Amino acid sequence: MRRDKLEKYLKKIDEVIERGPYKDTWDSLAFHKVPDWYRNAKLGIFIHWGVFSVPAFGNEWYPRWMYKKDTSEYRHHIETYGSLKEFGYKEFVPMFKAENYNPEEWVKLFKRAGAKFIMPVAEHHDGFQMYDSELSEWCAAKKGPCKDMMGMLKNEVEKNDLVFTASSHRIEHYWFMGGMRETESDIPEKLEYGDFYWPSYIEPFENYNQEQIQGFEVETLFMQDWLVRTCEIVDKYRPRIVYFDWWIQVEAAKPYLKKFIAYYYNRALEWGEEVTVNYKNDALMYQCGVRDIERGQLSDISPDYWQNDTSVAKNSWCFTENNDYKKPEEIISCLIDVVSKNGSLLLNVGPKADGTLPEKDIELLNALGEWMDINGEGIYETSFWKKSGEGPTVTEEGHFTDVLEHSFTSEDFRFTYKNGCIFAFSMKWPEDGVVRIKTFGKKSKNFKGVIRNVEVLGAPQGCEFQLCDEYLSVSAKGMNTTLPVGIKIIVD
């Protein structure tokens, strides 16, 4: 990218902030409203797709680990493709052809699954942009597929009345492939600004410790480049969420992060759209955006709207030949648990390099869609109730906890609320077809209202209910399922 384009864009960013109501301070950005459409949507689809889908080995961090000796990726690469000096990561770019990419079919499937917003990864840590960039030659519109992959998807998303969003993981590119400096590789003798691998510094931390965030010096040019690239995504594609991965929390990124958010929120006002930013940890100050917990959950209701981003596979965000897939009941249980605690679920799929979705991804999305057809009224446009649920199973709070096995029992329930109805989701339907919900017993201190009627969603023979002293008893015959079951309690 030429420096003149960079300087011109930086000037534009300052001008937008100067004339807009949002300034690049936490005071100005605080208490930004969570979009109503987002609160109501509850379910989105995340898409990790890119050059790393070509080797399809390990996970989307292949370009990092292939340059690290004593890793399985390094050994696999040498055995499969030869020396790193002759065949480095950039050699995968021409192999990333996406020849069978059909965004119309993708969106049809995502909508069938019940998703209300779609979030492609615009740029991952490897530095290859999946969109048409005027700021770099290393983008999908100019190399590899030679198509604006993100633009094509946006068109189909909006044709289907879904919401288009985007994520940027660019900031980790600062160190992501730094291992090439420590081994014989295809790194140029001198990396120049604009090179695919630039800057590829050796990572400024040990053992990938996310707590080490203060005191790092990050090259100013890189942070300027990060800011401009991210603003370009906003200007060209108008995503209604911009999601960031974890490294934006480092101290050196803070001034540029505030500039980006002020620019984005001001631009959204110009468009007349409600937007927000997803962030992890404490990268943003309180209520400047929506907190995201990677592969993780909360133990109870959050007063602020939040998000869990997770994947259909436990081991990887991208397609690999040996993905360890979740079961439908794990994904659906996760969705219910998150929504009951005032959150949304962003569920990731990983397409193959040719643009097709793996059969297992399709199978899981179809299963989710079938369940949502029956139970979606207890998910969409709901709010949390005064308690998230009942039962012995407690979900562990924090990042990377939702890959743990949660053995829900027939005594576990999760609650949501909408329009005079409390939805009690039985997380494991009992074999005898009778559930007992203690929260709604006559002697319960949790509910003192009137129960007018009860419905078991999807019950082929209807249901019967009885209000007992210790619990609400609900029975339904013919419910042969391993999936959670929605119970609609109509109250007065």
Token pair listed for 383:
């709010």
pLDDT of residue 397: 79
Place of tokens 């492609």: 120
Instruction: Give residue-wise pLDDT tens across range 421-430.
Output: 999 999 999 9
Q: 3 versus 187: which is more confidently predicted?
A: 187
Instruction: Give residue-wise pLDDT tens across range 322-355.
Output: 999 999 999 999 999 999 999 999 999 999 999 9
Distance (Å, whole) CA 187 – CA 180: 6
- What secondary structure does DSSP assign to 187-217, as a single string? --SS--TT-TT---PPPSSSTT-TT--SS--
Q: Is the dihedral of CA 377, 381, 387, 390 positive or negative?
A: positive
149 pLDDT more than 90: yes
- 306-311/290-294 β-pairing: parallel
Determine the CATH number of domain 389-491: 2.60.40.1180
**Who's near 448: CB < 8 A, 6+ residues apart?**
none
Model confidence at 112, pLDDT cuts 50, 70, 90, reads very high
Least confident of 212-226, 441-455, 475-489: 212-226
Buried b (16+ CB within 10 A) or exposed e, 402-437: bbeebebebbbbbbbbbeebbbbbbbbbeeebbbbb
Least confident of 65-79, 191-205, 445-459: 191-205
| Rounded average pLDDT over 108-129 | 98
pLDDT of residue 403: 60
210 pLDDT more than 80: no
Q: Which of these CATH numbers, 3.20.20.80, 3.40.50.12240, 3.40.1160.10, 3.40.1710.10, describes 3-294?
A: 3.20.20.80
Largest CA-CA distance found in the chain, in angstroms, rounded? 78
Residue 286 burial class via C-beta count within 10 angstroms: exposed 0-12, middle 13-18, buried 19 and up: exposed
Q: 404 versus 325: which is more confidently predicted?
A: 325
The rounded mean pLDDT for the chain is: 95
Distance (Å, whole) CA 25 – CA 373: 44
CB hemisphere CA count around 380 (13 angstroms): 14
Distance (Å, whole) CA 326 – CA 313: 6
Distance (Å, whole) CA 357 – CA 368: 16
Q: Kindly state the percentage of the chain with pLDDT values over 90.
A: 91
**Who's near 311: CB < 8 A, 6+ residues apart?**
46, 48, 295, 317, 347, 348, 349, 350
Number of Cβ atoms within 10 Å of the Cβ of 461: 11
Residues of the chain with CATH 2.60.40.1180: 389-491
**Who's near 227: CB < 8 A, 6+ residues apart?**
10, 13, 256, 259, 260
Model confidence at 136, pLDDT cuts 50, 70, 90, reads very high
With a threshold of 0.85, does the pTM exceed it? yes
Residues of the chain with CATH 3.20.20.80: 3-294
